[in-house]
């Protein structure tokens, strides 16, 4: 293996690690958002955890945050809880900060 091949492999491994870390961070963030929304809907314990996982899975539907925001907003609205997209986006940003702090 040449030095170039080794460097290329190293970069590929670093990229894979970074992608894994990003995925885990987003999953943690989405779970925190789900627990927040579950609390608003009056869910506790296992029901809250199960709901939070639905948002983690919803984030896999498409790139970006719109899918998880749309899902949370629809679920809240179905329970008669009106939250704007901006409200949910702001909460998602708070959850992002919390998830980042927990990963350090």
Alpha-carbon distance values, 1 to 4, 7, 8, 27, 76 (Å): 8, 10, 11, 37, 56
Q: The domain 3-103 is classified under which CATH number: 1.10.569.10, 3.40.50.10860, 1.10.790.20, 2.60.40.10?
A: 1.10.790.20
Calculate mean pLDDT across residues 38-63: 93
pTM: 0.84
pLDDT in tens, 5-32: 777 777 677 767 777 888 899 999 999 9
């Amino acid at each position: 293996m040449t030095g170039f091949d080794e460097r290329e492999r190293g970069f590929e491994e670093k990229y894979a690690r970074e992608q894994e870390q990003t995925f885990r961070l987003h999953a943690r963030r989405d779970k925190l958002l789900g627990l927040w929304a579950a609390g608003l809907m009056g869910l506790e314990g296992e029901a809250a955890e199960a709901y939070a996982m639905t948002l983690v899975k919803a984030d896999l539907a498409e790139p970006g945050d719109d899918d998880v925001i749309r899902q949370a907003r629809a679920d809240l609205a179905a329970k008669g809880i009106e939250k704007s997209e901006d409200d949910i986006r702001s909460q998602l940003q708070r959850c992002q900060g919390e998830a980042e702090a927990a990963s350090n």
